[in-house]
Structure 1
């Protein structure tokens, strides 16, 4: 009886932990897209300029991507529960203040602080999964639900943002986070803290180089959409980003006592392949959300609520694919799932690129939505498994931060590249005047086709991922203690 009671108590605790992880992951991915449909209402209410409005989105994604490595490492060094609560506090406070702002600059600052909170929450959520749930069926199920939350959060953000903007007010796209934060904070007491016995210092110099380098690089690419590639400012930011990131790599390799990133992780194809594939996958995914939303409102003249509801097939496809991939991962390995998923996703985006000015939901949205979302959604579980499954517990936060950083930075870079494609195509058809609906439509179509190309590149990268690991393989066999401490992750076959 005592054993049964202990098992039941453990099961309840794991259920709470999983609920917290799912809520946190859903929230941070939701807020990457929830404001997209609300942007016209935000501009009308607060008086944003066209250029300034872009920073309602970019302030979140830039800070999110730039601080993810620091957030992931903090979970390893200071304990998962306390870092979870820190991230929830930052995110909840920023959401509350953002919903009450009266000036454009205040909203941009609130979104930046949200991004900082997300940079703490996203890697600690994945770290909690990989260190709390035992390897096997339980961890695979938890990773599947984590992936569903992340994949569906981005799609649901457009849906929820449209409904809230139409029927309540744009401010609720931020205020909706407050009850989610309160729920996760209460459940967070069940999360194991996992603090190390000897706490080492945080690599602040490395964090500064990585954060400023990523921010400069992303900002430089963002400027290409509204500026010339050869302009001094654009080249300056791009060059500064490259220099700072190069300095980061050199410092981590030779100068840091407690590196923010163990660069030897990238010597293994499961880690390097998963991170690069995630970066390219997110590039295409962000482009699809952004340009389909614009097409629905600017070309087909859908209301915000109708545009949000049109994304419901995305949610269905993402959820179904993530759950299915979690069930078959052990039999297939990550390689075949990611290659197949990215190619199916590319097919869906290529189908999307055939949008027309006289189209509609059934003709231009439903079919490509299901195909693209099913393909992209099938990739998250195997990529998370490949990037973190073999990492030791003390490095789990680092590996989680890397994967999430690749997703956010990839989304920002991909969006900047595809916006440039759309702007160039629309301008070439407008003859210097106000863009026609046909010019806007063709620009959006060109951007979606470019997104399909990014997913094809992701499929090529995924070929280096490990396949199915047979029982008793080198990866599944435990390493000798000294080798394990030196390698940090076991060598995949």
Structure 2
């Protein structure tokens, strides 16, 4: 978890320097990020289920080794195609390590207070990695962008050694795993869906190839759903999708990640390209959110034990919504950091601290240990694909009338994107609070 947060934030800070040194166009540069998103989002669901079927320890260690090698290759190559390919392979590896790591946690700790505390610690490491990556990215980029790609290698090797020593062995599952057609349609459908979403802003949402890709992805995923209902041992038991709390958790993570990452994307452009801030200054400006998550997450487990996940998720999305609304109101071409930026950053930090742990807890509640990898992969797939879709729509709104995201004229051109992320957060809040409101209004017997 620390490693994933570290890698994503460091590479984001290093992109301008990387593009300048290798002479990459804006389109090529975005695929340094999108290549990772494509591999990660496309195979998360398969990665989680594979861990259930083949053994979590085995899948985790193999994928972690691939992650380390891909990180090393990415830091050594000069060819843009190889660099993007290494990011794609790294995303594939993360698609197996992320849900497997979470399912190891949820099967080790029983549902309830102990699991909630474990998930809170899990969140602390993610926030610490992301916050550290912002600062390290700013510092390492000044020495050379390659260091931001090479930095994860020793962390991955350390995790590999410790994982081999501490993670207990697990036998293969007795049933399942004989669904080759389901696996083929799932992987191809998810890859095509994620590719279409991340490529659409540059190509155009109404471009014939974009439309055909969307139709093809929908057809493949529809075929997957049909296959899963017919085969004796489905790769994904669709009954999981009939559990209301799990469905709401997956929609909530779309609202959380989609709005948060899109807002951060806009803030990065606004602070660096419009206000002329350095990468390090920008990182320090956004750092309070990560600090709040790191400090506050350990206490979220206790709040969940007392109030339940739905109320904590609702509070999280309310805090996020308030942060976006505040920046919409207080933002300007020359905003005051203490008045306009910092309050929004603090509200987002509170929202993310409350939301991530509680959503992950709700997404795995009531799921048998044999399907914890599936539930973990499902919620993380929702997070990544949802974030990619919201970010693509935000990018389209921010760059409308401009040739690139960095050619925006001022704060007013960010306002449609801010309205979008606010709307996404509010929709998530409405979905989360509806069962609570319905229960409160129902007549008592």
The counterpart of 1:442, out of the listed 404, 412, 421, is 412
Matched, 1:207 2:177: no
The counterpart of 1:339, out of the listed 292, 311, 314, is 314
What does residue range 190-339 of structure 1 map to in structure 2 within 5 Å? 190-196=166-172, 198=174, 200-201=176-177, 203-254=179-230, 256-339=231-314
Q: Deviations over 1:130-181 (max 9, x none)?
A: 1112344332211111122334544544333223212x22112221111111
Distance 1:435 1:290, change over 3 A: closer
Distance 1:53 1:267, change over 3 A: same
1:283 to partner: Cα distance: 0.7
SS of aligned partner of 1:259: coil
Matched, 1:462 2:432: yes
**CA–CA distance in structure 1, aligned partners of residues 180 and 121 of structure 2:** 33
Q: Which moved more, 1:148-157 or 1:205-214?
A: 148-157
Q: Deviations over 1:446-479 (max 9, x none)?
A: 3133112111111122236689xxxxxxxxxxxx
Q: Please say if residues 67 and 207 of structure 1, whose CA atoms lie closer than 8 Å, have aligned partners that are also in contact.
A: no
**CA–CA distance in structure 1, aligned partners of residues 158 and 280 of structure 2:** 27
Matched, 1:101 2:77: yes
> Which residue pairs with 1:400 in the alignment?
376
Q: Please say if residues 280 and 457 of structure 1, whose CA atoms lie closer than 8 Å, have aligned partners that are also in contact.
A: yes
1:330 to partner: Cα distance: 1.0
Q: Deviations over 1:204-242 (max 9, x none)?
A: 432332232223223333344234322212211222222
Q: What is the alpha-carbon root mean square deviation over aligned residues?
A: 2.3
Q: Please say if residues 159 and 310 of structure 1, whose CA atoms lie closer than 8 Å, have aligned partners that are also in contact.
A: no
Q: Please say if residues 309 and 361 of structure 2, whose CA atoms lie closer than 8 Å, have aligned partners that are also in contact.
A: yes
**CA–CA distance in structure 1, aligned partners of residues 314 and 153 of structure 2:** 38
Distance 1:465 1:144, change over 3 A: farther
> Which residue pairs with 2:94 in the alignment?
118
What does residue range 464-483 of structure 1 map to in structure 2 within 5 Å? none
> Which residue pairs with 1:348 in the alignment?
323
What does residue range 31-70 of structure 1 map to in structure 2 within 5 Å? 31-70=7-46
Distance 1:433 1:70, change over 3 A: closer
> Which residue pairs with 2:442 in the alignment?
none
**CA–CA distance in structure 2, aligned partners of residues 223 and 283 of structure 1:** 17
> Which residue pairs with 1:75 in the alignment?
51
What does residue range 125-164 of structure 1 map to in structure 2 within 5 Å? 125-164=101-140
**CA–CA distance in structure 2, aligned partners of residues 139 and 222 of structure 1:** 34
Aligned length: 435
Distance 1:302 1:204, change over 3 A: farther
Distance 1:444 1:197, change over 3 A: closer
> Which residue pairs with 2:151 in the alignment?
176
Q: Please say if residues 386 and 465 of structure 1, whose CA atoms lie closer than 8 Å, have aligned partners that are also in contact.
A: no
> Which residue pairs with 2:366 in the alignment?
390
1:61 to partner: Cα distance: 0.8
Distance 1:100 1:361, change over 3 A: farther
SS of aligned partner of 1:34: helix
**CA–CA distance in structure 2, aligned partners of residues 83 and 452 of structure 1:** 38
**CA–CA distance in structure 1, aligned partners of residues 424 and 166 of structure 2:** 40
**CA–CA distance in structure 1, aligned partners of residues 324 and 7 of structure 2:** 23
> Which residue pairs with 1:476 in the alignment?
none
Q: Deviations over 1:274-328 (max 9, x none)?
A: 1121122211121022111111110111111222222211112222442332211
> Which residue pairs with 1:8 in the alignment?
none
Q: Deviations over 1:352-398 (max 9, x none)?
A: 33432223533432111011121122111111111113211111111
1:63 to partner: Cα distance: 0.9
**CA–CA distance in structure 2, aligned partners of residues 377 and 212 of structure 1:** 34
Distance 1:464 1:191, change over 3 A: farther
Give the gaps of 5 or more residues in structure 2. 438-445
Which structure features the higher share of helix residues? 2
**CA–CA distance in structure 2, aligned partners of residues 153 and 411 of structure 1:** 19
**CA–CA distance in structure 1, aligned partners of residues 226 and 238 of structure 2:** 10
**CA–CA distance in structure 1, aligned partners of residues 392 and 267 of structure 2:** 15
**CA–CA distance in structure 2, aligned partners of residues 419 and 409 of structure 1:** 15
Please report the TM-score for the alignment, with normalisation by the length of structure 2: 0.91
